Structure 1
Amino acid sequence: MAQTIIQTISGKEGYQMDGPNLLTHLHHRNISIYFLAGVATAPNFMEEFRIKTVERFQQAKWHVRHAEVLFPYGDWNCGLALQLHELRQDLYPLWKSKLAAIGGRAAAETIRTAYDGGVLMLIGHSGGGVAGIHAAELMMKADEISAEHIRLVQIGSPMCRVPAQLRASTLYISAAGDSVTFLGSWGGWEKGRLGIFRWNRRKFAPDSIVRVPIIGKHTDYFRGRSPYVNVEGISNLEVTLQSIWSWLQGGCS
């Protein structure tokens, strides 16, 4: 499958597998958006990003049924050691079953209480991106939603295996200098043409991956004010949000 270039508003390039616009092919314009925070996160860390994201969908004439920030591993008031242990277990499970995913299970339980059809979009930062993948898979396995209605975004997240049916609807965003994005793996063994097994480092990767030119590092994707504004007057928050919107629209800036 060919690759097409994602162009962000600041000119940086990533890549996306050829595919349809991820919004316009749907027959309805209802969406529920959940923002999943990583470990030891401040309660208001993603709030401005949540507000701006909802505004963007509303401007595009979408009905946002629900928009909420979740803390699948707890916020910064919870014990860091326990949160890291839970995330490590989700990222490097000792068994293949995802039913034991701690963060994903916590997120799915909350989402179920409010989700009432339409598109379900999960935007996760750091470990929240791992929990988002697990939550979506758990809900699909329970026949609560189909892959067609799920959109997943991982921002500054460790690499984790993405189920085959979700790869086309998953976007992975990283930035230079974000050490968290070097954790985990998308790799897996596969048979080559001669029947010899080889390691494919992108075997379980999402179809769409983009690097954004933000100012700062892992905790700075959602900064909306100086000094996190580039020479073009564009903040990190705007760069991150526009990258998501471009992906949803088919890779066009």
Structure 2
Amino acid sequence: MMMCIPLYWCACSGTPILLQWRESIMPMNTPAASGNDSRLYVYALAGIGTAPGFMQEFHGELSRRLAASTGFTAAGGLLYPYGEWSRSVRRQIWEVWRDIRLPAGAWARSYGVAAVRRELEPAARGSGPVVLVGHSGGGTAAVHAADMLLAADPERPVAVVQIGSPRSPVPPVLQEATVYCYACGPDGRGRDPVCRLGSWRAAGEPRGRLPVGRAVWRKPGQLVPLPIAGRHPDYFRGHLRAAGGASNLELALETVEKHIQGLWPQLFGEEERAPFS
């Protein structure tokens, strides 16, 4: 069945593209976590049409700050769940659009998760806290990957940050641990076109014995406006100054740090830190 995808903006160039796609399925399994772990796994998941190293500075600085603040050893890496700009952008858009439309319970078929499964295996085998920061379509892959990690170990501390991402349902187990950031103007209104794509609406449970479900909303736990300079491709620009004088990069870093600190205060010494096991 052919379907039409709305306009989608490449992560780096801001170029809109319109195309058609055919749905397919890709199965995937995630290994279970086990053992004690003193590592903090930090992953940055890039969006579509992204230049190599686009989020490298952000990922490196975030890993350094979190390791220094928590005493954990930083691990993880920069991931491209839909490929870099050398790969067909049309194919990448097809995969992202299919992924954001996957129903709950079907995320093992996520293209984004399947593409980065090998890179996520160290975190999947471990038991330390995991931070997944996704830009653009990478935010969808981050939610799906986090849900797969929790399926293997429901007690696993996992946090997700979506930055400039299309909307897609967040499972209840992840809602409190997920923050959604979007570019805004001086008036606080959103100005990132990618953030208007998709929906947080998900199919609900049947009503009693009736085979009719009710619509429910699976929004992230927090929605945070970022008054950056520029638009969708510019969240991690160190040379662009956001409102208040801070760089876009610094604003993104501070927002992620604040979310992690609020979610896991014991890691930052606000409470006695207990090992994750």
The TM-score bracket by the shorter chain reads 0.7 to 0.9
Per the alignment, residue 5 of structure 1 pairs with none
> Which residue of 2 is the match for residue 102 of structure 1?
111
Percent identity of equivalent pairs: 34
Q: Does the Cα contact within 8 Å between 2:66 and 2:74 map onto a contact in 1?
A: no
TM-score using structure 2 length? 0.71
Structure 2 residue runs without a partner (length 5+): 1-35, 184-189, 206-211, 266-277
Kept in 2, the 8 Å contact 1:147–1:166? The answer is no
> Which of residues 64, 78, 82 in structure 2 aligns to 1:55?
64
Residue 251 of structure 2 corresponds to residue 239 of structure 1: yes
Listed as ranges, the gaps of 5+ residues in structure 1 are 1-26
What is the CA distance between 1:124 and its match in structure 2? 0.4
Distance 1:117 1:94 in 2: 27
Number of residue equivalences: 217
Contact persistence 1:33–1:64 (CA under 8 A): no
The 8 Å contact of residues 99 and 140 in structure 2, kept in 1 or not, is answered as yes
**Equivalence for 2:160:** 152
Alignment-derived partner of residue 87 in structure 2: 78
Q: Does 1:220 align with 2:220?
A: no
Q: Which of 140, 143, 162 is 1:130 aligned to?
A: 140
CA gap of 1:89–1:189, structure 2 versus 1, over 3 A, is closer
Please give the root-mean-square deviation of Cα atoms over the aligned residues, in Å.
2.7
Judged with a 3 Å threshold, the aligned counterparts in structure 2 of structure 1 residues 81 and 230 are, in CA distance, closer, same or farther, namely: closer
Choose the corresponding residue for 1:173, options 172, 181, 185.
Answer: 181
| Distance in 2 (alpha carbons) for counterparts of 1:33 and 1:224 | 20
Indicate conservation of the 8 Å contact 1:108/1:138, yes or no.
no
Q: Which amino acid aligns with 2:181?
A: I
1:156 and 1:173 in contact (8 A); partners too = yes
Structure 1 length-normalised TM: 0.77
Distance, in Å, in 1 between the alignment partners of 2:223 and 2:244 is 24
| Distance in 1 separating the partners of 2:213 and 2:116 | 36
CA shift for structure 1 position 205: 0.6
1:61 shift after superposition: 3.6
Structure 2 residue matching 1:48: 3-state secondary structure: helix
Amino acid paired to 1:40: G
CA distance in 2, matches of 1:190, 1:114: 31
Partner of residue 47 from structure 2, selected from 21, 24, 38: 38
Partner of 2:196: 182
Alpha-carbon separation, structure 2, partners of 1:236 and 1:47 = 15
The correspondence for 2:222, drawn from 208, 211, 216, is 208
